Structures are given as structure tokens and as C-alpha cells.
Structure 1
Amino acid sequence: MLIKDWMATTILTVDANTSVMRAGRTMKDNNIRRLPVVSQGKLAGIITDRDLKEASPSSKTDMDMHEMYYLLSEMKVKDVMTAAPIRLSMDDTLEKAALVMLNEKISGLVIVDDEENLVGLLSESDVLRGFIHATGIQDGAFQIVMDMSDVGGSVSQLIDVLRQNRARVLSILTSFDDAPAGSKRVSVRIMPYNGEVDDLVKELEAMEGYSIVSQGIDDLKNLPRKQ
């Protein structure tokens, strides 16, 4: 999955000399958490809602309201922004972006083209959308999670059985940290032929060296919602 297929390309920017107050109003009015900062048409940094909160006077300050508003109207974005923000190329993978976000503990990335021009923004939500789309969970796919020997061809044997049963494979994910030593855990989502899975599952259960950890379809009808 490539970043360019999932990033936001409609980008609001703010000039480096814009007041912090105006930048905050722009974020609030557009319900966004970060703004790329430009100076003379070039990317100069990024400002986030956290930067604005940290720049704002504390509620315990002795300043009155007029003084606080004056301070924020005089303070410039360039004074509180993150200069030279972490950026990735639009041709980098979504998986790489997720790794960078996790390692750096950030929730968004600036995306540039080969000439370092700003072309997009990528958020945690964009990464999650890409991951959800890739797994096929939203299509009502049947998931089978199996442990199998970590040898060449073990996944191919699984695919052969699925093919023989005319199941359409939507995604395959492999991991090692959650599998027994010498094994790998494979999660495959399929659309069974005519919706029948009983015979397929029995055949998979009978495979030597393969163990079904879980199976089923995720219940997406009553997903938890924040109150």
C-alpha cells in the first residue's frame, strides 16, 4: 500500500508569520489537528493543536483576558512550530509510515514529492483506513487464523487448499511474535464459495502440522461507539 493512495491531498497551510490565534481559529473551524507552515512558498514546519496548547498562557496565570488575547495575537506561528518536520515521500509505503509514527510517537506526517514539494498529509486515521481496507474485514470476510511450521511452502499449501475449495482470498497476514517457537501465525480472510465453510474448515483441521487458532466472521453490526 502506498502513501499516495491514502493521504489527504486537500491541504490547508498557514504562513510562518501568521498569528498563533489565527492558526488556532483555522484548526478549530476546519476540525483539524495540524497545519503545515510555509514561508515564501516553501515548507518551513508544522504546527499542531498540542503546540498551540503549550504556547497558550496557563489558566493559572496572573494575566487578564485582554493581555492573554494580545499575547496570542502577537505570537507568530514560526515561534511555536516544529521546524523541519518528519516527512515521507508519496511513493513510500503505508506500512513504513505506520512504523515511523509508532517510533516517533507522532500522529501525522508531512508528505512530499521528489522535488520536496508539499503534496499531502497522512494521519493515523488514514493509516487505519488503509489497513482496514487491505484486510477485507469490511466486506464480511471469513477469517481463519492458523499456526504452521515456519518452513518454505507452508503458506502455499494453505493457499492450495483454499483454491481447491474455490475460496476467494482477500488478505493474508503473517506474524511470528505471537506464534509458538519455530512456527508462524497466518491470518487469512476469504470469501467462501457459496458461503460454505464447514467442509473447508474440516479439511484445514486435518492438515498435519497446521493448527487453527480461531475462525469466524467479525460482528460489525453493533460496533461500540463513544458516548
Structure 2
Amino acid sequence: MLIEDWMAKNVLTVDENTSLMRATRIMKENNIRRLPVVSHGKLIGIVTDRDVKDASPSKTATLDIHELYYLLSEMKVKDVMTASPLTLKGKDSLELAAVIMLEDKISGLPVVDESGRLTGLLSETDLLRAFVRSTGIKDGSRRYVFDLPDAAGSVTRVMESLRQYDARVISILTSFEDAPEGQKRVSIRITMDDAARAEELHQDLLAKFTVVDFGIDDIKNRPRKKQS
């Protein structure tokens, strides 16, 4: 999957001389956590809500509200921004973005073109949205998790069984770290219209392969955050 298909393209930006107070207001009013900093269309930095919090006086400071507002209005984005942030291109993969964001502990990446002009912003929310869509979990799919030999053709044999029963494959995910030695863990999501054929396939898969888990995720009754 490509970054350009999932990134936010209409991105709010600020320039380096924008006051910290205005940058804070923009983030709060638009419910965003980061603002790219541009100069003549080119990305030169990024400022986040964390940068603003770190730059603001602590709650134990003796400043009154007027002094605090004056301080924030005098401070500029350039005083707190991360200059020359990590960036990616629109044609880079989401997988690459995920590795960078995980290993460098950052929650968003500016996306630029070959000339350094800002074209979008990819957040961790965008990554999760892409992952959810690609798995097919919201399509009412049936999930099977297999432990298969780490050898060529092992997944193909499962696919042949699925094909025999006219199962439609929605997604396939493979991992090795959570599988026994010499094996790989493969999660396959399928959909089937015929309930009787689905049961026949189920019994066939249990008989032929090591099925670690199976089921249909209950999306409608999933745990939900309580509304305040």
C-alpha cells in the first residue's frame, strides 16, 4: 500500500514566524496534534502539541495569565519546531512508514515531493485505518489462523482448499515471531455466502492443517469508549 493513498492531503501549515499562541489555537480548533512548517511551499520543520507543552511555563510558574499569554504570543514556531524532520514520499510504502514511526517513536510523518514541497501528512491514525481496511475485518469475514511449515507451497495448499469450496479470500497476513520454530503463522480472512459449504470447508481445514484460531470478530458489540 502506498502512502499517497492514505495520507491527509489538505494539510494545515504555519510559517516559522507564526506565534506559538496562534499555532496552539490552530491545533486546538482543528483537533490536530502537529503542524508542518513551510517556507515558500517547502517543508522546513514541524511543530507538535508536545513541543508547545514543553515550551510553555509549568503549572508551578508564578506568571499570571496576562504574562503567560504575552510569553506565548512572543515565542515563534521557529523557536520550538523540529527542523528538517524525517519525511517520506507519496510512492513510499505504508510498511516503511510504520517501521520508521515505530522505531523512531514518532506519531506522524510529513510527505514531500522530489523538490521538498509538502504534499501530505501521514499519521498513526492513517496507518491504523489502512490496516483495518486491508484486513477486511469490517466485511464480516471469517478469520482462520494457521501454523504452517516455513516452506514453499505451504500457503498454496491452504489456498487450494479454499478454492475448492469457493471461498473468497479477503486478506492474508504472515508472521514468524509468534510461530513455533520452523513454522510461520498465517492469518487468512475469507467470506462465503453458503453457510453449509462454509461448515464443510471448516471441517476440511481442521482436518488438514494446524488451525490455531478461527471465528468472526463481533464488530457491532466491540468494546467502546464511554462518551463523556
Considering the TM-score relative to the shorter chain, is it more than 0.5?
Answer: yes
8 Å contact kept, 1:166–1:193: no
Output the aligned Cα RMSD: 1.0
Q: Can you list the C-alpha shifts for 1:43-97, whole angstroms capped at 9, x where unaligned?
A: 1100000000111111111222211111110000000000001101100111111
The corresponding residue for 1:201 is 202
Equivalent residues, number? 225
Note if 1:39 corresponds to 2:39: yes
The corresponding residue for 1:63 is 63
Note if 1:49 corresponds to 2:49: yes
Q: Which runs of 5+ in 2 are unaligned?
A: none
The corresponding residue for 1:14 is 14
Question: How far did residue 40 of structure 1 move?
Answer: 3.3
8 Å contact kept, 2:41–2:117: no
Note if 1:172 corresponds to 2:172: yes
The corresponding residue for 1:222 is 221
Return the alpha-carbon distance in structure 2 between the equivalents of residues 194 and 8 of structure 1: 39
Q: What secondary structure sits across from 2:11 in the alignment?
A: coil
Question: How far did residue 14 of structure 1 move?
Answer: 0.4
The one-letter amino acid of 1:201's match is H
8 Å contact kept, 2:165–2:198: no
The corresponding residue for 1:123 is 123
8 Å contact kept, 2:41–2:118: no
The corresponding residue for 2:104 is 104
Q: 1:138-217 residue pairs with structure 2 within 5 A?
A: 138-195=138-195, 196-207=197-208, 210-217=209-216
Question: How far did residue 193 of structure 1 move?
Answer: 4.2
8 Å contact kept, 2:109–2:123: yes
Return the alpha-carbon distance in structure 1 between the equivalents of residues 41 and 151 of structure 2: 53
Q: What secondary structure sits across from 1:78 in the alignment?
A: helix
* Percent identity between the two aligned chains: 60
8 Å contact kept, 2:15–2:38: yes
Return the alpha-carbon distance in structure 2 between the equivalents of residues 98 and 131 of structure 1: 11
The one-letter amino acid of 2:140's match is G
Q: Which runs of 5+ in 1 are unaligned?
A: none
8 Å contact kept, 2:111–2:122: yes
The one-letter amino acid of 2:51's match is D
Note if 1:113 corresponds to 2:113: yes
The one-letter amino acid of 1:113's match is D
